[in-house]
Structure 1
């Protein structure tokens, strides 16, 4: 068979592809690690962008440094406090993850927990009149927050869809049992800017993440909370060299009031993993005073006699829908 001759343009294209491959190889983390200068002192920083192997670390002076991470230090995520060292070319290498105060995780395909965000202090659960709120989903998020020791809040967004005070009162009453057990609730609309003042104050000084089902207005709320988001994205893109990928990377934005808001595709689709009965009970904070008071130590709080949890429901101390969602999560 006669070998087909390549045109000059095809040859140039092949050479360009090979050159890009060589450039990618040259930037592999293990090659970059070899350039660490042992004389440079390690520094502390916060991970504000993660996209694959690429990280943007904010140093103590607020400067952003494009970093790679050692492969043996674990899975680095947005919000992590890390130890890093500068490279001669001005970039850096993350050499250790500092202890986390909290870690939001979800199971991977093998069932092992995969961290999504670190050092959170607020989990904001968004609901709206449309789509129809899911109490089951809300309770999943609340259990997750209780397990990792993060303060959860419930945020009713898009309240402008309820034009009358009677409609709003009725909607808020459906979720009054959350406020009754100590979860702060906020009722907002981005079309009514003054309604967001209390929420903005709540998030000030915190590291927060927004969760909720699709359609509850997370994107519009983020735009209000981050009026300079485009500027921040440009700054992060310039620092990391990620360009258009910056908007799809896990990102920790700076809020007004010196707080942070983590936005990540993994967090947006977060769900609670499997828990046993003892773990799940601890995730329902209003159950705790009654645990250990049932007649039977293995009480499932369904039909057993002298069940302290069901008695608390009968007395109005526990909302019946919360007990129903507990059983749903348990798989009863």
Structure 2
């Protein structure tokens, strides 16, 4: 619907379309189109439980608002609960920024998990190597060798940045402008430092969120959306530091391994798991050196976790 038509409907209904910035259980902080931060409660019959990044219909009340409905999502990143059931974490993102650093070291299994998560949500991944200024020649070569496959086979050219020195930050700002991105990464990679470098008015924003909540505080453990100065937004979420893939189908896991998928269709059995079955075209490709053994080891781990694994 055109923006003018949407505004007319809002005026007629008395409702406003806003975006969820952070959720504290039943209380949600939203930002309206004119930049107002509003503390809202959810109606019991809301069509979905709003999460960070959601667009919602809000009815104003004295001193706050009530969420009437969640606008249909363009994308959603989920994580499995303890029973493997999908639970929405963030919505309406179009970039998954995977932050890496050495130290603490590049963990390929975790990187591949994030790539599967991106494929499942149909969100474009972006690799960012932080602390680039601390890499000596040997460390830089080690990182480049680890990521060469992802660059050459998957088309994921990493950005080398440093929150401390400012190296590469302009290129990162350009890559994020106009997008809604969520930052993910292992503990110690410097996500918080990157967010501070990208958001010069972060302290003011956190103060405004604290004031809007009426609690005088904003917890750093809550998944939170921050607008970027050049347009777009960035989401910081501690909820995806580690994750399982219980809610992701095996077929989606395979899409993150295109060099395997190219051969999988020629396996003798349609349900081949590429783990020693007779007539496995993937095993034959591995023997010919067309698939790296470590990639198959990672795939086996992730397929075992998959929802239909």
> If the length of structure 1 is used for normalisation, what is the TM-score?
0.80
Change (3 A) 1:223 1:176: same
Return the match for 1:151 from 124, 141, 144. 124
In structure 2, runs of 5+ residues without a counterpart are 1-11
**1:55 paired residue among 25, 28, 42:** 28
Match of 1:82 in 2: 56
Asked whether 1:170 is paired with 2:142, we answer yes
In structure 2, the residue matched to 1:205 is 178
Query: Corresponding residue for 2:257?
Result: 284
Does the 8 Å contact 1:105/1:114 carry over to 2? yes
Shift of 1:317: 5.0
Using the TM superposition, give the Cα deviation of residue 68 of structure 1 relative to its aligned residue in structure 2, in angstroms: 0.8
CA positional deviation for 1:237: 1.9
CA separation of 1:245/1:234 partners in 2, compared to 1, >3 Å: closer, same or farther?
A: closer
Structure 1 residue 168: deviation in Å? 1.0
Cα deviations across residues 36-81 of structure 1 (Å, max 9, x unaligned)? xxx8522211111211222121112222221111123222111001
Aligned to 1:103: 76
| Alignment deviations for residues 189-231 of structure 1 (CA, whole Å, 9 cap, x no partner) | 2233132222221111111111111111111111111121101
Is it true that 1:94 corresponds to 2:67 in the alignment? yes
CA 1:293/1:154 → structure 2, altered by over 3 Å: closer, same or farther?
same
In the alignment, what sits opposite 1:188?
161
Deviation at residue 312 of structure 1 after TM alignment: 4.2
User: Given the alignment of the two structures, is residue 223 of structure 1 paired with residue 193 of structure 2, yes or no?
Assistant: no
How much does 1:283 deviate?
Answer: 3.7
Structure 1: distance between partners of 2:94 and 2:248: 22
| Equivalent residue number for residue 5 of structure 2 | none
Q: Distance in 1 between matches of 2:257 and 2:44?
A: 37
Change (3 A) 1:300 1:270: closer
- The alignment status of 1:326 with 2:299, answered yes or no, reads yes
> 1:207, 1:262 within 8 Å by CA — same for their partners in 2?
yes
Give 5+ residue unaligned stretches, structure 1.
1-38
1:315 Cα deviation (Å)? 5.5
Q: Which of 273, 278, 291 is matched with 1:300 structurally?
A: 273
1:318 and 1:240 map into 2 onto residues whose CA distance is 52
Q: How many Å separate the matches in 2 of 1:169 and 1:259?
A: 33
Q: How many residues align?
A: 293
Provide closer, same or farther for how the CA distance between residues 258 and 167 of structure 1 changes in structure 2, counting only shifts above 3 A.
same
Instruction: Give the RMSD, CA atoms, in angstroms.
Output: 2.4
Distance 1:99 1:317 in 2: 42
Structure 2 residue aligned with 1:46, among 19, 22, 31?
Answer: 19
CA distance, structure 2, for counterparts of residue 292 and residue 270 of structure 1: 29
Once structures 1 and 2 are overlaid, which stretch shifts more, 135-144 or 45-54?
A: 45-54
> 1:7: which partner in 2?
none
CA distance in 2, matches of 1:206, 1:132: 28
